[in-house]
Structure 1
Amino acid sequence: MARRLLLRALTFLAVCLLIFVQVSARSVPHTRAESLVDSADWLHHSKSSNISLHPRADDKPPPLTWDKAVQNGKGHMCNCERLETPPHPKTGEPKPVWTGDDLDMYWTPQDYYIGDARETETTISLRNAFSALKLSTTFPPNKGFVLYQDSDWTGKDGKRYLATYGHYSGIMNPADGFVVAEQSFSPWEETKNDSPRRQPPLTQWSDVTFLTWARFAQNPKELINLKYFFRNHIINDDTKNIINEALRRTGQSLSEWPGVEFSMTSDEGKAILGTPNGGGVAWFIVDHKKELGVKTVESVTVFKTPGKDAEGNNEDWYQAMFTIVPGTGKKKGKGKGKGKGKGNGKRDSSGLDEGLWEYQS
C-alpha cells in the first residue's frame, strides 16, 4: 500500500516537472547567435537620440474629411483678410519674428541643378501654365533653392538636438511674382520615427520659404509682388483625396492645363485651401503681413502633368496653382496696421512662425 502511494506521488511530481519545463521553454526567448544584437550595436541603439521606432498604428492621424477641410479653408480665408497677423493658434501668444540670420543658423543652402537649356524638369512640366500666365521658364531670371536642416542645435532646455535633415526646395521669381514649391519634407516629418521627435525653432515650410523669397527680392516692389503659388507634384494623400472629391462634386475630372479653377467663394476652393498643401500657402501670406501687406487667395486651379513614378512608370502628377490678390482688410482686428505692404527691402526681412499647425506643411 505504501509502495503504491509512493509510486503515485513520484508520478505526480514527474508530470508537474514536465509541465514546468514546457512552460519555461515557451517563456524564455531563444538565444541563438543570429537573434542577438551585437554589443556595439546595442550601445548605438540605446542612445535615445538614435533610436528608430516603428510608428504605432494609432500614431497616424485620421484622414482629412471634406467638412474639416472646408472648415480649415474658411479659417484661412478669415485670417488672410485680417489686418494683423493672428496669434499662435495654440498658445494665443504673439508669434516669434524670424530673420535671415535665423535662416542661416538652422538651414544650409545646397546647389540647385539647372540643365544646359536653363530649364528644369519642373519648369518643363509647368511650361503650358507658365506660358499662359506669361511667366519665365528659364534660369535666370528664375532662381532655384534647396535648403537642408543639417545643423545640430541647442534647445531652450539646454539640450543638444541632432539635425533632422528636413529639406525644402523650389523655384522663385519675385519680378514675375511666382513661387513653385517642389520638395517639402519638414523636420517634424523627417523625424517621425525618431525618439525624440524634434524640429528646430525655425522649422515651418512657410517661414523658411518666405525668408528665401525676401532674400531673392531685389526691392520692396518685388517683395510684395506675389501673384501665383504653385504646389508642384503633390504627393500628400489628404490633398489628393480632397482634390478628387472637389472634382467629383462638380462633375469634372483632373485634366492638363488649363485644368479646373475653383473660386475661394466655393466650398471646393476652401476645401483645397484647407489641405496640408493649401494651408502652407495660406500661412505664407497670413504670417507675413508686415512685409507682404494684406493678401488673400482668390482661387485655386488644379491640373495634371505627365510624370514618372519611383519605378519609372508613367503616372499623372497632381498640380495646384493658388492665385494671390490684395486683400480687402475687412476683418476687424486689434492691430493698427494699414496693410500697405511696402516692406523694407532688406535681404534679411523678418518672418513669423505659425507654430505647430494641425498639418505640417
Structure 2
Amino acid sequence: WKPEQIADDARWTKFVEKGKHLNCLMEASDKGAGWLLKDTRNPPSAASQWTGDLSEARKMWYWHESPVNQERECDFEKKRLKDAFNGVGLNAKPTQSEGDGDNVCYRIEHVDTVLAKDPKEPKKLIDQKYKVGEKEYTATGGLYYFAVNHKGGAIIAMNLETPLIGTKYNWPNIATHDQLPALRFCSDILWGYWCNNNPSVRNLRIYGAYNVVNDETASLAARALISNGHETLEPWPGVSFDRSSPEGQALIGSPLGATAAHLLLGHKAELGVKWIKRVEVFTNDKRMDGIVPKHKEMHLFFHVEDVPEDE
C-alpha cells in the first residue's frame, strides 16, 4: 500500500470510537439502544421507521429496479470467490444457474433509467420529478447494487451510492437534507429485500462487501492488516478481526460496517438482538493458471451472530 492508502491516526481513532458505539447499540435491547441514541419515542427505540418489504414505499419515493444479468453479475464462483463463499457455508452461484444457486442480485436506482434512455424523448435525471404529498422532489441518481441469499443467510453489498452522493455527481449543487427522499438509507433498502418472501428472516449470518473501493473503509482495512503483520491481501480465510479488537471496531465503524450495524440495530424486533462478531478481510481465490494479479480486490465478511444472553 502507498502511505496515502493507509488510515492516519485521526481517521483510525474516529472509526474505532464509532465502532465501539455501534457495538454498544447492537448488543443493547431495542429500548436500551433507543435510550443511547436519545430517541424521543416513549419508550425510546432504535427501530427503523421502515418495515416490511417496502415495495410501495420504494415506488412512492421514486426508487426503480433496473435489470441485472444474473448469470454474469451474480455468479461469485466466476468472480473467484467460491472458496470464500463455501468457507462460510454459502452457495456461490446465482439462482438462475443450472446448479440451483442461491444468490439474486438487485440494482435499485433513484432515477428512471427507461425514461433517461428513451430514444425519442430522453428525460435527463435532473428533469425527473416526483411528488410525495404536496412536495416535489428531483431524482438523485442514488444506486444500491447488492446480492441477497435467503437460503444461506447473506447480503452482499456490491456498489452503494447514497442519494446524497448521487446529487454530488448529478446536480449542480449537492442536495440539502430536505431535498432527499425520506427512504434513502442503504440499510433500509437492503432490509426490504432481505425480508421479502423470506421464511427465515432471523437467519442473517453474513453481510459481505464485495470489491471494496470506499476510500475510508479500504484505508482502515489496510491499516488493520499492516498492524498485524500482513503486507498484502490474502485469499479466504484472509485475516479475521474480532469485534473487541481496535481493528474489528474500526471496520465495524467504517462506512460499510456501519451499514451492516444499522441494519441489525434498526430491526431487533424482526432479527432478534444480533451483533457483528468478527470481520474477515480477504481477496479472490487464486487463479487456476497461477498468475498473480497486479491489482487485488478487497472483500469483507461481517459475521452476524445472536448476542449471548449474558452480555
TM-score by length of 1: 0.66
Contact in 2 for aligned 1:306/1:316 (Cα 8 Å): no
1:97 equivalent in alignment to 2:50: yes
Tell me the residue number matched to 1:139. 94
Q: 1:275 to 1:290 in 2, by over 3 A?
A: same
Contact in 2 for aligned 1:63/1:238 (Cα 8 Å): no
Q: What is the RMSD of the two structures over their aligned residues, measured on CA atoms? A: 2.8
1:244 equivalent in alignment to 2:222: yes
1:127 equivalent in alignment to 2:107: no
1:268 equivalent in alignment to 2:247: yes
Question: Residues 1-361 of structure 1 correspond to what in structure 2 (within 5 A)?
Answer: 65-84=11-30, 86-87=33-34, 92-94=39-41, 95-99=48-52, 100=54, 101-106=56-61, 107-115=63-71, 120=75, 124-140=79-95, 141-150=102-111, 152-154=129-131, 158-192=134-168, 194=171, 195=173, 197=175, 198-217=179-198, 219=199, 222-253=200-231, 254-305=233-284, 314-328=294-308
Q: 1:202 to 1:119 in 2, by over 3 A?
A: closer
Q: 1:122 to 1:167 in 2, by over 3 A?
A: farther
AA matched with 1:111: P
Distance, in Å, in 1 between the alignment partners of 2:294 and 2:10 is: 27
Counting aligned pairs with the same residue, the percent is: 25
Distance, in Å, in 2 between the alignment partners of 1:161 and 1:286 is: 29
1:180-237 CA-partner distances (Å, limit 9, x unpaired): 11111110111125336142000000110011111141x1xx1110111110011111
Distance, in Å, in 2 between the alignment partners of 1:122 and 1:208 is: 26
Distance, in Å, in 2 between the alignment partners of 1:130 and 1:314 is: 23
AA matched with 2:19: G
Residue 76 of structure 1, CA deviation: 0.7
Q: 1:155 to 1:170 in 2, by over 3 A?
A: same
Q: Which has the larger radius of gyration?
A: 1
1:294-347 CA-partner distances (Å, limit 9, x unpaired): 10111000012389xxxxx9521111101000013667xxxxxxxxxxxxxxxx
Query: How many aligned residue pairs are there?
Result: 260
Contact in 2 for aligned 1:83/1:329 (Cα 8 Å): no
Q: 1:119 to 1:282 in 2, by over 3 A?
A: closer
TM-score by length of 2: 0.75
Q: Which runs of 5+ in 2 are unaligned?
A: 1-7, 42-47, 96-101, 113-128, 287-292
Contact in 2 for aligned 1:305/1:317 (Cα 8 Å): yes
Q: 1:134 to 1:70 in 2, by over 3 A?
A: same
Distance, in Å, in 1 between the alignment partners of 2:78 and 2:306 is: 26
Tell me the residue number matched to 2:44. none
AA matched with 2:17: Q
Contact in 2 for aligned 1:169/1:183 (Cα 8 Å): yes
Q: Which runs of 5+ in 1 are unaligned?
A: 1-61, 308-312, 332-361
Distance, in Å, in 2 between the alignment partners of 1:123 and 1:275 is: 28
Distance, in Å, in 1 between the alignment partners of 2:74 and 2:216 is: 30
Q: Secondary structure at the match of 2:222?
A: helix
